[in-house]
Every structure is written in structure tokens, then in C-alpha cells.
Amino acid sequence: MTKIRCDICHDCFSLDQFRFLFCGHGFCMSCLTKTRNQRVCAVCRSRKGGDEPRQIYASFVEDDTTPEEKARAVTAGLDKIDVTSPATSIERAGRKIKNVSRHVDEETARELVEAARNLEERVLPLYSELELEQAEKTALREQVEDLKRRLGEMETLDKQVIQLQKKIQDERLKHEKATALGNEERKHAIREMDENARLNKVVQRQQRKLEAKEEEIQQVQNEVSEKEKKIGLLTRKLRALSKQGKKPRLNPQDPDESLQIEPVNDTHTTTRSSIQRTHNEVGNHEYPLPKRKRVQ
């Protein structure tokens, strides 16, 4: 049964125990499990990609090539090795040379073994160092790409910060304008309150004056009412005396106070004049003036 050698552990396994990456290189299940966290292939250092390792199906036949053909194939493979080849290619070339040396004569086998030893001792360390350097370069390149990406994010953040600062400045200016407008409105309201207070005081003074004038008018009206009552009483007495055919005594010294007659016209005229003057002093307030009664 044909077996396949794993390039990591160098053990041989059947094809069904191998899984192959997207790049074409295959490894045993155990080595794939150990290296599942690595992002590159262990042979060609290319990215694994997002696909899972796959199994392939093939039918193998017996190798009937001659030793000379195998030697030519090994030589052709050695010619393809360059600075870009991985170190595992050198290891495989050494193993192939040893396998070919088993099928040739002793002298040729000795030369092939010596060539394989030179590959392993001289060339393989150089390729290993070169592979490490390439891995470091790849890591540095990834770091540079990551730094570029972060730099782009920082530039975007800087632009956003500048925009936010501009917005904050605009909002600060709006707030200052609103504060100034509020202060003006507050001052205007205070002035209006002061003016209203002053007007209230003026109105209160006018109301007190009006109340005083109304009290004076009420006193005058009371006096007029008293005078009118007396005039009415005298009028009734005069009518009663006129019916009896007697003339009233107009002596102001009459002991009977009911017969004392005051000058009706002068008193009434004086009373109306005082009421009219009081009315003019108070203002255009309408107060009913007493009607003048005619004495019969």
C-alpha cells in the first residue's frame, strides 16, 4: 500500500489520513491539529485561507521508473530550488537523493549520499535562516499594514474630533447669543415691573384723592339734604299759614325755630354753587345735583 510522508513529522501515513490545504500541500491529521492556529502553510508559507483542509481521493500505481530516471528527476528538482524555495524543499531533496542512492552502484551511491549531506549541513541552515527572515518580513509587512490601517482610523478620528470641536464652538456661540438675549429680556421685564409699580403707586394716590373728594361730596350732599328738609318744613308751614289767611312772621328772632325762615334763594344758590365747584375739582364724575324747589 502506498504511503505519504508528512512534511512536518516526517512519518508515513496512508492517503485517507492526510488532509490538504488550499495551496496543495498535505499533512497528517495530528500535525494539522497541532498547527491549526498558524495562518500560513508550513511548507510554502502561503496563507491558509478560510477553507478547512480537504481530503483527496486518488489511485496509485507501482513506480516502475529506473534508478537513472529517478536520478534525473532528483537533478531536475535540484535545479528548481532557488532563494524563494522553503527549507522543507531542501529536506525533501536530501531524502530523494538518499532514496536514489539505494538503487545505484556503490560509487554513485557514495557521491549521492555526500551530496545529500552537503545539502543538509550547508544549504539547509541557509534556507532555514532565509525562511525565518522571510517569515519576519511577512510579520513586519503585516504589522505595517496593521499600522497603516490604524493610522487611517486615527485620521478618521481626528476629522471627527475637528468636526465635533466645530460643532461645540457653534453651540457655544448660540448659547452666548441666547444668554445675551435672555439678559436683555430680563432687563426689559425688570423695567416693565418698575414702571408698573410706579403706575400702581400713581393710581393708588389718585384713588385716595378720589375717595377724599367723594367724601367731601358726600358731606356737601348731606348738608344739602338737611337744608332741603328745613326748606320743605318751612314751605309746609307757609302753606298752612296762607290757608289760614295769616302772614308769617319773618323775624329771625322768633322763639319758634320752626317759623325761622332763612333766605331760600341765597342759601340754595350758594349750596348749588359749592356742589358745582366740588364737582369740577373732583373731575368729570357725574353726581346728581339736588333739584331746586320752588317755594309757593
Asked whether the predicted pLDDT for residue 284 surpasses 70, the reply is: no
End-to-end CA distance of the chain: 167
Task: Answer whether residue 266 shows pLDDT above 50.
Answer: no
In whole angstroms, what is the distance from residue 206 CA to residue 212 CA? 10
pLDDT at 37: 82
pLDDT for the residue numbered 102 = 66
Residue of 169, 165, 189, 193 whose CA lies nearest to 177: 169
Q: What cell numbers appear for 181 in the block?
A: 438675549
Choose among 175, 172, 84: nearest CA to 134. Answer: 84
What's the mean pLDDT in 127-137? 77
Which residue has better confidence, 132 or 221?
A: 221
Per-residue confidence band for 193, with pLDDT thresholds at 50, 70 and 90: very high
Confidence of residue 7 (pLDDT cuts 50, 70, 90): confident
Residue 174: which pLDDT band, with cuts at 50, 70 and 90?
Answer: very high
Predicted confidence band at 35 (pLDDT cuts at 50, 70, 90)?
confident
pLDDT grade, residue 273 (50/70/90)? Answer: low
Query: What's the rounded mean pLDDT across residues 172-181?
Result: 92
pTM: 0.30
Looking at the predicted structure, is the pLDDT value of residue 287 above 80? no
Residues β-bridged to residue 13: 4
Residue type, 176: E
Residue ranges covered by each domain of the chain? 1-62, 195-282
Q: What is the pLDDT of residues 75-95, one digit of tens each?
A: 666 656 655 566 566 666 666
Provide the grid cell at 199: 403706575
CB 89 within 8 A of CB 79: no
Residue 48 has pLDDT above 90, yes or no: no
Length of the chain: 296
45: three-class secondary structure by DSSP:
coil
pLDDT number for residue 127? 66
Angle formed at CA 40 by CA 39 and CA 43, multiple of 5 degrees = 155
Q: How many CB atoms lie within 10 A of CB 43?
A: 20
Cβ atoms 112, 90 nearer than 8 A: no
Report pLDDT for 81: 60
Q: Give the pLDDT score at 42.
A: 83
Fold of 1-62: Herpes Virus-1 (3.30.40)
Model pLDDT, residue 169: 92
Contact, 2 vs 15, CB < 8 A? yes
Categorize the per-residue pLDDT at 5 as very low, low, confident or very high, splitting at 50, 70 and 90.
Answer: confident
Higher per-residue pLDDT: 127 or 285:
127
Average pLDDT on 146-154 reads: 91
Count Cβ atoms within 10 A of the Cβ of residue 106 and give its class: 0-12 exposed, 13-18 middle, 19 or more buried: exposed
Q: Is the pLDDT of residue 263 over 50?
A: no
Rounded CA separation 54/22 (Å): 8
Q: What does the pLDDT average to over 278-284?
A: 50
What confidence tier does 267 reach under pLDDT thresholds 50, 70, 90?
Answer: very low
Choose the most confident range, by mean pLDDT, from 98-102, 117-121, 151-155.
151-155
Query: Which residues share a beta bridge with 272?
Result: none
Fill in the DSSP letter of residue 51.
Answer: S
What mean pLDDT is reported for the chain? 75
